[in-house]
Amino acid sequence: MLRLRSCVLTHLLSSHPAASPLHRLHSAAASPSSAFAVEQYLVDTCGLTRAQALKASTKLSHLKSPTNPDAVLAYLAGLGLSSADIAALVDKDPEFLCAGVERNLAPTVVQLTGLGLSHSQIACLVSLAPAKIRRRSVVSRTHYYLSFFGSSQSFLQAIKRCPRLLSADLENPVKPNVAFLQGCGLGACDISNTCLARPSMLLTNPERLKAMVANAESLGVPRGSGMFRLLLRGGGLLSEENFAARMENLKNTFRWSDAELITAVSKNPMVLKRSKETLERSSKLLISEIGLEPAYVARRPSMLNYSLEGRIRPRYHVLKFLKGNGLLDRDRDYYSAFKVTEKVFVDKYICPHNEVAPHLVEDYAAACRGQVPTNFRFA
């Protein structure tokens, strides 16, 4: 009997029926077993592994028959979720199988469709936040965020980054935070774009958001400016104490003056998110090994975003080789070589020297793999 029901559901999940999969399922499925084996059902019908099923079954021990789970699975298939999608959903939220299709899921989907979401977008939303979809309040929140972010695509992108948006209280803290940002001189589009990059900003305590703004102002960055928005993203959710500690660490690590520190952070706010260990490695390579001046790095802080081992170190070795052998002007700026794309770097710094340094391509590739030769070779 389990095998028969599994075959029926497998067919439904693979064919994505467009109309009334629930009724077809009821007509195809036989009467439930008197002793419903939840764990086996999760394996045979939902596609979970044995370990996943064992864990999920503890939340479904009250189920006495497959009737409701069958209806839920058929409905999800009708929305367009694949077998893999459904298995992932059930693994994430086993209790979704207990949702009422006619009482809960279907009315919610109808209302979400009325907001302009397609079935495929609703299916994506279900996969991202299954527990939230089981609450009817998801409709009002979706309505607000669709307007706030400006499109269904941006809305889904924000939910992917922060599913908690669908369960947060709009009246506190979401709307007060939006109002505060408006008071800082940001327009609706600026706020939505900033929050799309860091949706959790909408959920932070309003007092902490005010502290973030104070942090930006302490650097001399005016409210409403483009740099202000970048700094909110880079220093998002940092407390005043945390912000001050990270600023002090940056200053000490790169031996910057106060003015150089402000220049660097204003140009690259995301540097505030770098770990202490990463910053120390960057300082060691850029300042101690390559010999760049702290002020030089402060004026070009985007270097701190580049991979040390995948970009900066291999390119430094190439430039050092070229300069040491008279193949490149010794005054050639390092940053200009670090910032270009891989293709441009190879075309500009490696290909022109294929005849006199035929092994340069090979040696550079080895350097990118972390196997830096002691000396790059000539012919």
CA 74 to chain centre: 31
122's CB contacts (< 8 A; 6+ apart) are 79, 109, 112, 113
Give residue 213's pLDDT band: very low, low, confident or very high (50, 70, 90).
confident
Whole-number pLDDT of residue 378: 66
Whole-number pLDDT of residue 28: 39
Q: How far apart are CA 218 and CA 209, in angstroms?
A: 14
CA distances from 162 to 157, 169, 327 (A): 9, 14, 51
User: What is the identity of the amino acid at 264?
Assistant: A
Mean pLDDT of 127-136: 92
CA 348 to chain centre: 34
262, 219 Cβ separation under 8 angstroms: yes
Query: Looking at per-residue confidence, does 244 or 260 come out higher?
Result: 260
Query: Looking at per-residue confidence, does 198 or 106 come out higher?
Result: 106
How big is the CA angle at 285 (ends 284 and 289), to the nearest 5 degrees? 90
**Is the pLDDT assigned to residue 185 strictly greater than 80?**
yes
Whole-number pLDDT of residue 96: 97
345, 328 Cβ separation under 8 angstroms: no
How big is the CA angle at 158 (ends 154 and 159), to the nearest 5 degrees? 120
Whole-number pLDDT of residue 243: 81
Whole-number pLDDT of residue 234: 65
Query: Looking at per-residue confidence, does 379 or 3 come out higher?
Result: 379
Query: Looking at per-residue confidence, does 93 or 207 come out higher?
Result: 93
Mean pLDDT of 68-83: 96
**Is the pLDDT assigned to residue 238 strictly greater than 80?**
no
**Is the pLDDT assigned to residue 245 strictly greater than 50?**
yes
Give residue 2's pLDDT band: very low, low, confident or very high (50, 70, 90).
very low
